[in-house]
Structure 1
Amino acid sequence: MSAPTPLLSIRDLAIEFATPAGPVTAVRGVDLDLAPGRTVAVVGESGSGKSTMAAAINGLLAANGRIARGSILFEGRDLAQATPAELRAVRGRGIGLVPQDPMSNLNPIQRVGRQIAEALSVHGLMRGAAAWSRAVELLDMVGIPDPGRRAKQYPHELSGGMRQRVLIAMGLACRPRLLIADEPTSALDVTVQKVILDEMAALTAEMGTAVILITHDLALAAERADEALVMFRGDMVERGRAAEVMRSPRAEYTRRLIAAAPTLASRRLVGDAVPAAAADPRPRRDRVLAELVGVRKEYPGRRSLFGREPAFAAVEDMTLEIPRGETVAVVGESGSGKSTTAKLLLRIEDATAGDIVFDGRAVTRLKGRALFDFRRRVQPVFQNPYGSLDARWTVGASIEEPLRIHGLGDAVSRRTKVLDALDAVALPREMLKRLPAELSGGQRQRVAIARALVLEPELVVLDEAVSALDVIVQAQVLELLADLQARLGLSYLFISHDLAVVRQIAHHVHVMRRGRVVESGAPEKIFTSPETDYARELIAAIPGAAPRAAPPAPEQPALRRA
């Protein structure tokens, strides 16, 4: 039986970027055949060339990038030689895209439903009320609750995970023949991730759609892809059936990736929580650094032609304590109130009711100098590495800024601290003069972490701080966080949808759903004996428990590099 004709065929692809120092090769010698209805996972560390290869397929390389060599045949047409008009005709209906960063790819002044409807109308599929109705259906399909109301909202009114789901809905809207999904679920909790990937699999089966899944989640690649392509510093170092590559890797780099990937059986990086006195499970009052007591955050309803919508409680009756030198994790689905909890503790948002206490002092209503001093002691690392750094500032200036704002040290000592921070998050010192646009998403997030740690705060609020990192760098950052905690007595509020990571790093876990804590306890208790159906659903949805068997793969050209 002959192999099916490839929908996409890439040969000897090389991509260069022009820089002041001369051309830099970001991808070299990539070969790939992808047949209809099949999924290939492209894995590798941040900066390995995964997203650059995808951008070349879609004709979306940066202005200083070019295809230096090779061909990209899509349905027999070489996209490497296509005109801009020809590429525009292919995008959307022929090749769908789910990009990595929702805030850079959604129009901030247009309602999300209108943006999805526009994708349908631009390609002549639907218009007007029919397009709007389909947009609402797509939002429902990707797991957004109350899709009719959410369709009328703007991107800033949605959580990061919800914005990512909007991008997925847009990518699937025109039912493309090839879907490029660039880290499509990195911002999503495991239950919604499963819904999304199940829908992508259904589309593949129904329409014969091929999928390029770019991910740093190796368990996800093994479970969801037919084939895996492993990239390292622009080279393709391994390729084969996904389950086989993850089970019996040939390349040393692939073995390192797999060894670094967190699972529910991974070694814990922290010890157990300090035992409470007597039978009281709560920490002693002198050990509590920060706490939220009965906190509620309510947002007023939007005005419309039909009056004001009901108020929405993003957080309801939130009570948690963060002991000194320990990590408290908050997990739950996107939109559950995790990030709002972080903003309340940081005093970025004001609580509607309840109290926020830090080091024995109520900070709920601090203002002026007192609030400024409080923020020196509590530092954030946010979810979005693209929005947390000033695009006009170099890496060095961004990391140094908190030191200058708080008047710490002179120019020489500040530079030393900046260099130490770069070392701590495994970034080369020559990156000091680069701009954020010159960094990958994972590299930007490491800069954001370095920026938070440079002040040596007492409490760091980490909102999905490692979700954008490849597994090797993620493991380094988690080890770093655990080491800093042990040496400096740091406390962390660790917000994440990655339960395997939470089990490694947390002393206490709170599970949130729809604004409320539904279960709390030590990690071992939560992950081995969950009390609520919702916690059991979260754990059951973790990918990698049972990688699916891949059908026979079509013959691939031989690798150039081992």
Structure 2
Amino acid sequence: MTDTTAPLLVLDDVSIEFETARGSISAVRNFNMTLPVGRKVAIVGESGSGKSTIAAAINGLLADNGVVSSGRILFDGQDVVKLDDKGLRALRGKRVGLVPQDPMTNLNPLQRVGNQIAEAIEVHDKVRASDAFKRAVELLDMVGIPEPDRRARQYPHELSGGMRQRVLIAMGLACRPQLLIADEPTSALDVTVQRVILEELDTLTRQLGTALILITHDLALAAERADDVVVMFRGEAVETGSAAEVMANPRHEYTRRLVAAVPTMQSRPLVPPVPATSRTNDSPRRPLVELVAVRKVYPGRQGFFGKPKDFVAVDNSTFSIQRGQTVAVVGESGSGKSTTAKMLLKIEEPSSGDIVFDGGAITHLHGKDLFSFRRRVQPVFQNPFGSLDGRYTVRQSIEEPLILHGLGNAAERRARVNELLEQVALPPELAERRPAEISGGQSQRVGIARALALKPELVVLDEAVSALDVLVQQQILQLLARLQLELGLSYLFISHNLAVVRMIAHEVHVMRAGQIVESGTPDEIFRRPQHDYTRELIAAIPGRKSVPAATELA
């Protein structure tokens, strides 16, 4: 990646180390990159490869135990490594914007989201609070949040995961920086909103000459949106070049494996198709799960003017899950997917309708019956950081449900944890670390291992692979398919990644604004979509033409 103009950013032979109780850990070694003004580069690699560490070093945001042990990071000719606190404060936000990966740990739960965006504008642009808030509302509208004026006055917990991610994107763009570092900025977003966000980032780059560093595990997205790609593996840049060149003709073996693992609409399904006879009304098999006319309404708040308006999150949802099968629910953020999952898990109660599990309604379960139900139905949530106790080691997190349900002695539980770590492709030495000491993708795998610990009948997977790089995602999907075949597991699989859904699901329901607008097998949905919204989702899949199918690389 060379350019005849003066580069905005140069990383010259950068190495980064972290001091831990187990000694010094080398996270990045001899990393080189040149980013011209207005250029877009994607840094791609598996969890723990050093992608986010590079992003943190550019912004002077390494953890206290991290240090740039050698090399230079030159931003507009100035070495970031040598800046003091005052210099770094002047750099962050105004000149270098950041969109971090996890909204729940980067948004203040006690402050309205509009005020959080406006705060940065007030500090860096020296404008009045009212003008800053007005700009915050405009930014929320720009990143695709409906009713931005109302949403700006809400707290983070009142927004969906996808909306919270969009708030972070608005914060990163707030001061029109020269460089925007986006660390997995769309991993929580459905494909239609993802397209809106990325097109807006493209517009910003063109109009303002803003450079973009896109940290991602999504090779398809990198191929479609970046000018150049840097592939990282175990702390080193193993391949660098134009996006088109790297994707079409990968030279390094690791890059070839990454490209081959990208799920596409042509990828071979991991599960066998359901026989047609089993999907007829004459089938004698009783479903494991039945949702019958389920509705969830959240009461509106009384305002100064008019009556409160109720919000219908799920409207007359009806479907079933057969034993040993996977039912996927897809749709945009706020469509009702996660609310459906929460009702099935009895985290939320339906306003009307029935949810039946193994022939019995779950509405009035309590005491021992509810405890037994929770053992049979286990969740894997979208946000791995929020679902793991930061005080627990990985071993303690996975072992906790075994202890709560009185399963096994200490030795047996230890063996079970080791078995689960192996199943989700985590090294045994990770067992004694805490969530803050492992990557986001590794945390998600811990969550999956924890869910499998009790050998449940139904696993509710809410964006369970969205935080994983494609190689680990492929391993997890293969694991889920194998466990389903061996143990007869059923899955409710919630995802915005339609290519993944096509690989893992037996049946698909497309949700929009709380309603199921189309249902069918993956082939029926993706080859012959009937609803305009389904066609819109499929058209928005990134990299459909830029990433070759695995067979082309064989």
Query: Which range, TM-score by smaller chain?
Result: over 0.9
Separation in 1, partners of 2:281, 2:150: 40
Q: After TM superposition, list the pairs within 5 Å mapping 1:139-150 onto structure 2.
A: 139-150=140-151
Note the alpha carbon deviations across 1:221-276, whole angstroms, 9 max, x for none: 11110000000010110000011101101100000111111111111000112433
The code of the aligned residue for 2:104 comes to: M
Aligned to 1:452: 451
Separation in 2, partners of 1:274, 1:438: 46
Aligned to 2:99: 98
Helix, strand or coil for the counterpart of 1:387?
A: helix
Aligned to 2:120: 119
Asked whether the 8 Å contact 2:125–2:175 carries over to 1, the reply is no
Separation in 2, partners of 1:86, 1:233: 31
Helix, strand or coil for the counterpart of 1:129?
A: helix
Aligned to 2:187: 186
Report the TM-score when normalising by structure 1: 0.95
The code of the aligned residue for 1:171 comes to: G
Separation in 2, partners of 1:77, 1:543: 36
Aligned to 1:426: 425
Offset at 1:220? Answer: 0.7
Aligned to 1:12: 13
Offset at 1:545? Answer: 2.3
Asked whether the 8 Å contact 1:224–1:547 carries over to 2, the reply is no
Asked whether the 8 Å contact 2:506–2:521 carries over to 1, the reply is yes
Greater CA drift, 406-415 or 452-461: 406-415
Asked whether the 8 Å contact 2:384–2:443 carries over to 1, the reply is yes
Note the alpha carbon deviations across 1:376-421, whole angstroms, 9 max, x for none: 0000000001111000000000000011111111111111111110
Asked whether the 8 Å contact 2:264–2:544 carries over to 1, the reply is no
Separation in 2, partners of 1:284, 1:12: 65
Helix, strand or coil for the counterpart of 1:72?
A: strand
Does structure 1 residue 540 correspond to structure 2 residue 539? yes
The code of the aligned residue for 2:294 comes to: V
Helix, strand or coil for the counterpart of 2:117?
A: helix
Aligned residues: 546
Does structure 1 residue 495 correspond to structure 2 residue 494? yes
Aligned to 1:552: none
Aligned to 2:268: 267
Aligned to 1:508: 507
Helix, strand or coil for the counterpart of 1:276?
A: helix
Aligned to 1:350: 349
The code of the aligned residue for 1:172 comes to: L
Note the alpha carbon deviations across 1:167-192, whole angstroms, 9 max, x for none: 00110111100000000000001100
Greater CA drift, 144-153 or 250-259: 144-153
Aligned to 2:41: 40
Separation in 2, partners of 1:234, 1:303: 53
Helix, strand or coil for the counterpart of 2:474?
A: helix
Separation in 2, partners of 1:281, 1:156: 41
Aligned to 2:464: 465
Note the alpha carbon deviations across 1:139-169, whole angstroms, 9 max, x for none: 1111111111111111111111110001001
Quote the RMSD (CA, aligned, Å): 1.3
Aligned to 1:235: 236
Separation in 2, partners of 1:302, 1:276: 48
Asked whether the 8 Å contact 1:113–1:132 carries over to 2, the reply is yes
Asked whether the 8 Å contact 2:507–2:522 carries over to 1, the reply is yes
Helix, strand or coil for the counterpart of 1:430?
A: helix
Q: 1:185 to 1:207 in 2, by over 3 A?
A: same
Greater CA drift, 296-305 or 334-343: 296-305
Q: 1:27 to 1:244 in 2, by over 3 A?
A: same
Aligned to 1:203: 204
Separation in 1, partners of 2:218, 2:128: 37
Aligned to 2:50: 49
Separation in 2, partners of 1:116, 1:237: 37
Note the alpha carbon deviations across 1:404-460, whole angstroms, 9 max, x for none: 111111111111111110000000011111111100000000000000001100000
Greater CA drift, 146-155 or 338-347: 146-155
The code of the aligned residue for 1:492 comes to: Y
Asked whether the 8 Å contact 1:283–1:323 carries over to 2, the reply is no
Separation in 2, partners of 1:127, 1:266: 53
Percent identical pairs in the alignment equals: 66
Show structure 2 runs of 5+ residues with no match.
Answer: 548-554
Aligned to 1:554: none
